[in-house]
Structure 1
């Protein structure tokens, strides 16, 4: 659900704006320009988080590129109801140009869907073409958000985490197992990924524990305060 667009005044939309602010102030030495969103397993809401975070950043006047880097089970095009005939895989394969494949959803938000599912996603994402693409994107957009596959399932997020400035791990309450979340964190740390924090998703709003005014508060790895509300599925 694109709650930032459909319900801009809702508490959930405000939670995404808080997440946006926390990312912007998460580092004093290096700007968080390339941000990877992943989860330990499927169905935890990492794509929903990626899409709504991109919308929140764009509405603040920032130029944003949302990349669907899940070349195995893409979903960004479904959420925004745009075509996925060509996308990132086509651009990296040299069969399409970025200008012809991307979608300007709004004045500040550009979306590049995953495109045709390739036979070798990991090799494509680790290629020099991918590195060159991200380097070029840095010079055009204020923020680039990468929606990656679950980290335990495939190596793609680990590969991509070495190319970005920060990683956010989405954890779904009642879906993610504690050990799986720990394992996902370890896998990212094994490649020296800069985990700037986590988003706890689908918290039971009927419980009064940990809540104030309908928000769930927690602290990310760097100490930044984040508030998040119960969310929709991935």
Structure 2
């Protein structure tokens, strides 16, 4: 069975928990785990990092569940990243001396090594009062935090406005911006900073947004049609 999990970062420690249960009627004697790491991850042991580890477990009585926890350590980012190494994981085998292999799992991860891309503001105007700024951002681990950086045309420091991204994997974001009673024609320079789940950040180029009058509501008037019905003769 293969399980693909959330992306990991270079240098990250990953804690794995294996739960195993004896569903039989006899003791499961001398069970063992064989752990094999592949890609840029190794297993933490008392003797240091290893790519393969054998773990001898206690006997498991019928109906009893046991838990074993171990740690994998992802290597630091290589000087020249290779796309082939940005996929890693651990193969886990559960066996004993009499029966052999009971079960196995492959736990796989991709490596999120880069900041968000396609970061941009798509909103093209402001209106007095509350606004909804929209934009795009793409990242493998999700866009965890959106921060607008707003500066009025009068100058001064940028004002940060943070908002979480409720849909971090859909490539789009929205963030509220209330400009109060700013006059029609006033402009604001707006940038957006997008942070992914690994802490990588990208800041967009500024976009100049000008306050415009609210769009008029569309009104449809239907002409009055009068019909005169006469009886058939």
Question: What TM-score range do you get, normalising by the shorter chain?
Answer: under 0.3
* Greater relative CO (CA pairs within 8 A, separation 6+): 1
- Which one has the bigger helix percentage? 1
TM-score of the pair, normalised by structure 1? 0.25
TM-score of the pair, normalised by structure 2? 0.25
Return the index of the structure with the highest Cα Rg: 2
- Which one has the bigger strand percentage? 2
